Amino acid sequence: MAGLNLPDLNLGRRPGSDKPMSQPSPAWQIRTETAADAAAIEALNEAGFGPGRFAKSAWRLREGVAPVASLGFVAMEDGAVRGSVRFWPISIGGTAALLLGPLAVDNAQRGRGIGIALMQAGIAAAKQGPWPCILLVGDEPYYARVGFSRMPPGRVRFPGPVDPERVLGLSLQPGGLLNVSGQIRRAQIDDPVCADGAGVG
């Protein structure tokens, strides 16, 4: 986390909402994900999305590709992982970009601002990197709270059916969304193999 210009993560307020907090200051803290968090994160994603998540178009972009390690964040409280967000590298028409998700918060801990704070941490960290933008498939009213807006119809194409009204984008750099368009592919492994890299023989 050193060197990152992260938002205020000492959470005495409800991020992304105009509503005042109705509870005392939450005790949870956001930190970078570690390998030891993997099982707890998997349990959160299973509870939040169920096995159907693997059939979704967005999930196809994650198959065989590791998330960006520096952009995985967890919310911790009393030694437990309350929520998690990860970002995957993707290619949009040949441009390296990010896919937000999965984002999942423990069912018993929802409505405390954890989801918004996790995304704010991830977005702030992503702004330190080379990516021009983040895409996701999700509910605009929620993700608009951290700056996402609907992508123009047809601008980007997922590798499978998605509801175009749920395809959202966020620029990480000035004009970061304006120059991306086309087919979304998995990072690295879906890149066409050129003759030089084929290793024939």
Binding stretches for ligand COA (CB under 6 A):
14, 17, 19, 48-49, 83, 103-105, 110-116, 138-139, 141-142
Distances from the Cα of 87 to the Cα of 44, 67, 102, 131, angstroms: 16, 6, 8, 12
Closer Cβ to ligand COA, 104 or 135, answer by number: 104
Closer Cβ to ligand COA, 95 or 150, answer by number: 150
User: Tokens 């109705």 appear where?
Assistant: 22
* Strands annotated E in the chain: 29-32, 73-77, 80-92, 95-105, 133-137, 149-150, 156-157, 167-171, 182-186
Q: How far is the CB of 183 from ligand COA (least distance, A)?
A: 22
Q: How far is the CB of 96 from ligand COA (least distance, A)?
A: 23
Closer Cβ to ligand COA, 48 or 93, answer by number: 48
Closer Cβ to ligand COA, 2 or 55, answer by number: 55
145, 17 contact by CB (below 8 A): yes
Which residue sits closest to ligand COA, CB atoms considered? 115
